[in-house]
Chain A
Amino acid sequence: MSATQATPQPQIPVTVLTGYLGAGKTTLLNRILTENHGQRYAVIVNEFGEVGIDNDLLVESDEEIFEMNNGCICCTVRGDLIRTVQNLMKRRGAFDAIIVETTGVADPAPVAQTFFMDEDVRKAAKLDAVVAVVDARHVLQRLEDTEEAEDQIAFADVILINKTDLVSAEELAQVEDRIVSINPYAIRHHSERCAVDLKTVLDRGAFDLDRILSLDPHFLRHGHHAHECSPDCDHEHHDHDHHHGHGHDHHDHDDALHAVKSTSLTAGDLDPELFFPWINQVTQVQGPNILRLKGILAFKGDPQRYVIQGIHMIVEGDHQRDWKEGEDRVSRLVFIGRDLNWDVLKQSFEACAA
């Protein structure tokens, strides 16, 4: 469609808050609502519960999954979110950003997909970050019991490892390792009672994409030396020793088959004539198994960086900014998913090189 509006208004940033029941989502929400940060948030919660109620832009919303009539089972959106965002747009100017809290057992995909698949929501709002709150004490058990817990971690851009005061340093290292094994690209923070600098979870934007993609997961996993981080630090806690093998973990064989894994693919300049058909084909065929993909790409003869992201079968890309002088023109693409054919993915991506 070439139809445009006279003056497109900026998209409102949306933060999606996920996390298992009891992980601390409500605590984080209450901090966001009560701290004096000068930002006004509209908050969509699944249940009023313990959330402070003196905000007239707080709304309770029952999860309504809409399947799209296009034969694609992973193309689901949240109908209630579409409706609430449209309602909020009637009060544009009364708030600066939107926070969506999901239920503890929610699949994060429909929430995230809503911001790409529904044209009205897309015009009004953009997904800023998916923040997962993880209970350091219980997360390993949750990961054994449920797929949702793994999905939440796999989907996250930011992971808040909460209740760190309830575990030993060794237990925390195990938690950290397990999370890294699912999603090494999320920015991780430690907290007690969700006490984090809110700047580290809100309004992250493209800022994180660069960070995420500048990380080499292989380098991370074999991190060389440990150093100390305060709970609030904004850099990767990638230096804990990685325990290969998880010998005590009886789910190991299961992990090998259906566990969430990730890969970071790199190349130099790409040929867009090869890349776009390739990424379309990959997401069409393997979409249900792709939880997220993100990348920064260099196309031959293109002075601008091209940023791409996707969820299941949805892929979206746009030019971001010029490559800076002296900046390496490197194309990087990250996949997080289940049962993907990692080797074929790598080879076929590399075949898109210009």
Chain B
Amino acid sequence: MTTIAPVDVDGFVVRAGFINASPFFACGSGTVHVVAGSVADIAAHRGGLLAARPALDGRSLISSGDDGRVVRIDETGEVTLLSERARKWIDLLACGPSGAVAFAAGRTAWVRFSDGREKEFSFDRAVGGLAFAPKGLRLAVARYDGVSLTWANAGGDPVELSWKGAHLDVSFSPDGKYLVTTMQENALHGWRLSDAQDMRMTGYPSKVKSWSWSRKGRYLATAGATAAVLWPFTGKTGPMGQTPLQLGTRGDALVTCVACHPKEDVVAIGYGDGMVLMGRFEDQAEVLLRRPGQAAITTLGWDADGLRLVFGSEDAEAGVISLQ
């Protein structure tokens, strides 16, 4: 039995998730709504909020905006300024180990360490995406024609991974063996880090703008097609030469968002028409969680136990779905 508790939000939901056990909804309007008993509306940014990511310890939310600020928001709604770059639109964020935060605007990326120190990284072309490796302060910066891998804390030349084209978001597999990017084309690109072997994951009818690693990193679930496409990363060669799983296939809407369950081989799937369902890898069983709404699902997030799922859409729709 599932129930949906709608939450009033004031705009495009950029990111939804949980701070500790409290659902949050970070909106493009600059407001972060936190549901801890009652709903607190926190003015996180003076202008628009462009990106938000939960900190790795799950106890706070980091957000950035077109006011040039990077802030931390805790469960009580307290907002702490971490960094500021006047007049920059900070639209890329990554949270790393030991409280490190990476952020970027245009052709520059910065890493802020937990002690407040900051380090700047400049590139010839715009930064498309940021990700920290699962261990150590290793930062991947997606850019035009490839990815630069750099140790955030140390000097030295970055390791360059090359593939022609514009790389946008970037993600390490949870075991740290693979690095995957989304591209301006309707494709993913990947590298096996041990030998920089290229991987090409194609066949999408639209850009891939949401992805999620499944439990233990066995699959990478992706949006951008009429089904959630899950690439296996189990064998020695990752997804190479393998057929991906397809879950939640529909004929009349594209998948716009995916989120893998933290404990089971199950993925929550959001669609362009606002529908949300979940699918099980093993037998492709589907459970409808939300009927179509006003607009495309932009964000989905599970709580740590996998009992609640939060969602948000482009058009100020949001809610908490309880599976119990």
Contact = CB atoms under 8 A, between A and B. Distances in A.
Question: Do they bind each other?
Answer: yes
B11 A91 contact: yes
Contact of A94 (B46, B48, B226): B48
B28 A4 contact: no
A92 interface: yes
Contacts of B252: 2-4
A60 B207 contact: no
Contact of A66 (B12, B184, B274): B184
Contact of B254 (A3, A59, A60): A3
B75 interface: no
Nearest to B206: A119
Interface string A253-265: 0000000000000
Interface residues of B, number: 45
B126 A79 contact: yes
Interface in A55-106: 56-57, 59-62, 64, 66-69, 77, 79-80, 82-84, 87, 89-94
Contact of A59 (B12, B89, B185): B89
Interface in B267-290: 272-274
Given A3-B254, A87-B66, A48 B87 contact: yes
A120 interface: yes
Interface string A1-41: 11111110100000000000000000000000000000000
B46 A56 contact: yes
A48 B68 CA distance: 15
Given A5-B272, A6-B273, A93 B11 contact: yes
Contacts of B314: 9, 89, 92
A77 B48 CA distance: 25
Contacts of A80: 106, 126
Interface stretch (B110-118, B154-162, B237-245, B292-300): B292-300
Given A2-B252, A92-B12, A56 B67 contact: yes
Contacts of B74: none
B50 interface: yes
Contacts of B66: 56-57, 59, 87, 91
Interface string A220-259: 0000000000000000000000000000000000000000
19 contacts: A2-B252, A3-B205, A3-B272, A4-B272, A6-B295, A56-B46, A59-B66, A62-B107, A62-B126, A64-B144, A68-B184, A69-B185, A77-B184, A79-B128, A83-B91, A87-B48, A91-B12, A91-B47, A92-B314
Interface of A: 1-7, 9, 48, 53, 56-57, 59-62, 64, 66-69, 77, 79-80, 82-84, 87, 89-94, 118-120
Interface of B: 11-12, 14, 28-29, 46-50, 66-67, 87, 89, 91, 106-107, 125-126, 128, 144, 164-166, 184-185, 205-207, 209, 226, 251-254, 272-274, 292-296, 314-315
